[in-house]
Amino acid sequence: MKKEYVISKEDALMIVDVQNDFLPGGALPVPEGEQVIPVLNDYAKMFKKAGAKIFATRDWHPPNHISFKAQGGPWPPHCVQQTEGARFSPALKLPEGTEIISKATDPAKESYSGFDGTDLAAKLKAQGVKRVFVGGLATDYCVLNTVLDARKNGFDTVLLSDATRGINVKPGDVNRAIEQMTAKGADQATLENFPDSLETPIDEEHAAEAIADKPLSKLEIKRKARMRPRGPYKRVRTER
């Protein structure tokens, strides 16, 4: 039977690192990373409507961060504080009241998790949050470690698997990350597991299609729209 989640004030949405450098044209692009944006916009709208908390984490490195190749780390320089690459994607619609959590700000320390070196756990607990839903970039680094830390901090945790993409430095990394999260008790969900999302009204542009093609559900119509080679996320980073 399909699981159905009902969002309440005791839930939080965690949007992990949807920053220009992790998107096409960025310094460390995650394959298909742009595909998470319209899905996360739907989740954000849904969580906002339900009165749930919304957090957006960002990788926020100093220019000499230990994870950069010049310092002997594995990554090209990315998400350097105050740069265009560190900004959230302009296509990401963060609802009013979204709390921003900056992480990995210490030059000498890598922190993939949004909980590591931040007050995220304290904030969630102070606000009575019991369950967190996590999506964003990248599945095999910051999403993985944020989910594992959410479990360590005692939160019920759900990976939004349609709203995350990974790097796969080694083939299979993403699958192994999902196995690790599942082994620690994280559940997995997609938009189909949120009955509320099906009530999202379709827009004018796609109304004709809805009538012409009756067997498609509203959710499927939205999905089809996302597959087209155009849309708000096509504009990401074209300014370069």
From the list Zn ion, ligand VGL, none, pick the one residue 141 interacts with, judged by a Cβ distance below 5 to 8 Å according to partner type. Answer: ligand VGL
CB 158 within 8 A of CB 188: yes
Helix axes 218-227, 204-212, angle to 10 degrees: 120
Known active-site residue 142: yes
Crossing angle of helices 218-227 and 36-49, rounded to 10° = 140
Q: What would the two tokens of residue 156 be? A: 């019920």
Active site residue 103: yes
Q: Is 142 in the site for ligand VGL (CB under 6 A)?
A: yes
**Is 79 labeled as catalytic in the residue annotation?**
no
**Closest CA relative to residue 132, chosen from 219, 57, 41:** 57
Of the residues 48, 103, 140, 149, which is catalytic?
Answer: 103
Nearer to Zn ion, 59 or 140 (CB): 59
Question: Which residue is associated with the tokens 């559900």?
Answer: 217
List the single partner that 137 binds among Zn ion, ligand VGL, none, CB under 5 to 8 Å by kind: ligand VGL
Q: Is 59 in the site for Zn ion (CB under 5 A)?
A: yes
Q: CB of residue 144 vs Zn ion: minimum separation in angstroms?
A: 13
Q: What residues between 137 and 166 interact with Zn ion by CB under 5 A? A: none
Phi-psi bin for 139: left (phi > 0), alpha (psi -120 to 50), beta? alpha
Which partner, Zn ion, ligand VGL, none, binds residue 17 by CB below 5 to 8 Å per kind? ligand VGL
Residues marked active site are found at: 17, 103, 142
